[in-house]
Structure 1
Amino acid sequence: MGKLVINSYDEFAAHLGEELGASDWLQVDQDRINLFADATLDHQWIHVDVERAKKESQYQSTIAHGYLTLSLLPYMWDQIIEVNNIKMLVNYGMDKMRFGQPVITGSKVRLVTKLHNIQNLRGICKAEIEFRIEIEGQRKPALEGIASFLYYFN
C-alpha cells in the first residue's frame, strides 16, 4: 500500500474512523539508542550498558528509551501520509499514551494509524491520530495513544 495522499481538509475528513496505514518496519539498534542517550543525556544502564544488561536486566539485553520509541512517530507517520497544500504542520499534543512493553535492542517497530477525530478550527485542521507502535513478532504494542497534529492548509 502506498502513501495516503491528502490535498484538502475535506479529503482528510473523508477518512474519519478509518485505518490510514502502516509504516515500514524499522530496526532499533544499539547505535540508535546510544545516539538518543547522547541527545537526551539519559544514559541509564538499561539502555546503554550492553554487558551489564546481559547479566542484570530481566530482558538480558539493553532496551530502547520509551521516548526514543515515541520520537520515531513523525518519521514513520511521514511514510503513511502525504498532506499537500499546507503551509505548516505542528505537533499539538498526546492523549492516552501508554507504553505497553519495552523495545528490546535489535527489534523492529512500525507505526499503525487510524483517524480518530478531525476538526476545522477557523481554517486550521486539527487531526487526532490513534496510533500504535508495534514490535515485530509481539502481540502487545510498545506504545499507543492519540497524537494531535495541526495542519495549516493554504
Structure 2
Amino acid sequence: MIHAYFSKLLQDCRVVACAALLPLAAAPAASAEDAVGGKQGGISLQAIDSYMRGVVAGFKSSKTDIGTAPTIIDFYDCTTSDHGYVTESTQVQLINYNYTSPNENWEKKTFTACFGGGQSHGEWTGRKGDDLYFQIKQVNGSSIVGPTMSVSRVHMW
C-alpha cells in the first residue's frame, strides 16, 4: 500500500528532482522485522537509497525519519551540465533538523570521485540525529543556481 502511494505521488510530481525529495519511494521494500536497528514508529530501515536528477546548488533532500539516522552519504555515478568544461565536483553538507532550536549544520564534504562513474563517500564521524538531511552547497564550485547535477544512486546510512 505504501509503495502504491509513493508510485502515485511520483507520477503526479512535475519537478525533475521530485524522486530525490522522496527517498523512501526508491528504497528497497523491507519489513520492520527484516530491518537492522530495531523499530521506531513502525518503520525501521538501516539505509535509504534514492537518486537525483537535474538538481542545483541549494537543493535539500527530504529528512530521514528513521530510528538509526545516517551519518554516511555515498554518491554513485555523478554528472553535471558542465561535463567536459570544468573539473566536476559537488559540496555536500549534512544537517540535523531541530524542531525547537536552530538546525545543526555539520561540516561540508567535497565529492569528486563519483564523477566519471565512481563513488564518493562522506562520513560525519560521531554525529547522530533523528531528522537528518543533506544540502547541495555547490556544484562545480558554484553556490548560486547554475550548473545542474545528477546522481544515479544516493545511499544514506
Whether these two folds match at TM > 0.5 is no
Instruction: Calculate the TM-score normalised by the size of structure 2.
Output: 0.27
Instruction: Calculate the TM-score normalised by the size of structure 1.
Output: 0.28
Larger radius of gyration: 1
Would you tell me which structure has more strand in proportion to its own residues? 1
